[in-house]
Amino acid sequence: MSLESALLYLFAILVFAVTPGPGVFALLARGMASGVRSCVSLALGMTVSDLIYLLLAFYGLAAVAENWSEAFTVIRYLGAAYLLYLGWKMWSAPIEAEPLAPELRKVDVMKGFLQGFLISASNPKVILFYIAFLPTFIDLSALSPADMGLVVGLTFAGLMIGLMLVASGASSARRFLQTERAMKGANRSAGALMVAAGAFLIAKG
């Protein structure tokens, strides 16, 4: 894989990462409600799930998307239900100035990771995207371990950078919301975005 191809691939993954969808909606909601740091685990969960699909694409397992269609349908609806629940919690959450205890932050990290993983895992069509996308940059018939490692690394970097840019933008907007009324509006906006993410998961089936 040439340097030019690597840079183009990284840019393409960045664009893919910020394309509106359930994951971006969830990041916007989390960033507005809790700040950019709380989005790291969410973005990491989505990225890890995408990397699994990328590896499946490397080995030509697009058929998994068809053979496991019922399982993915269940995963999608479970993920959608969880997002709808989180949206309601954000919408109705009271305004709290006190920071969360360390124990709660640890729990949120794991929940955020699982939530992000579930959002991406519910869309097996990502395999098809990578299978269609990768040949533009690399010859899959002559794939070496070094090429595979490079593509995985570029994908991880591109997805995390793109997703965290989304989260940072949402978090920055939150800083301008200092009054109780504004914070309440932000929480409700975040809740609405989370509900939109859940509805998107259901509708795209």
Whether 39 is in a domain gets the answer yes
Query: pLDDT tens, 12-34?
Result: 888 778 777 778 888 888 887 77
Q: Is the pLDDT of residue 45 over 90?
A: yes
Q: Is the pLDDT of residue 76 over 70?
A: no
Whether 112 is in a domain gets the answer yes
Mean pLDDT of 169-194: 69
* Most confidently predicted of 41-55, 58-72, 171-185: 41-55
Separation CA 150–CA 132 (nearest Å): 18
> For residue 56, what are its two tokens?
């499946």
Whether 141 is in a domain gets the answer yes
DSSP string, 116-142: HHHHHHT-THHHHHHHHHGGGTS-GGG
Residue-level pLDDT at 153: 94
Mean pLDDT of 198-205: 70
Whether 114 is in a domain gets the answer yes
pLDDT top residue among 109 and 118: 118
Q: Is the pLDDT of residue 106 over 60?
A: no
What is the model's pTM? 0.67
Which residue matches tokens 């799930």? 49
| Residue 104 structural domain | 3-12+22-203
- Number of domains forming the structure of the chain: 1
Whether 17 is in a domain gets the answer no
Rounded to 10 degrees, what is the CA torsion of 190, 36, 133, 12?
Answer: 110
Separation CA 77–CA 73 (nearest Å): 6
Whether 44 is in a domain gets the answer yes
Whether 70 is in a domain gets the answer yes
Residue-level pLDDT at 200: 72
Whether 134 is in a domain gets the answer yes
Residue-level pLDDT at 98: 43
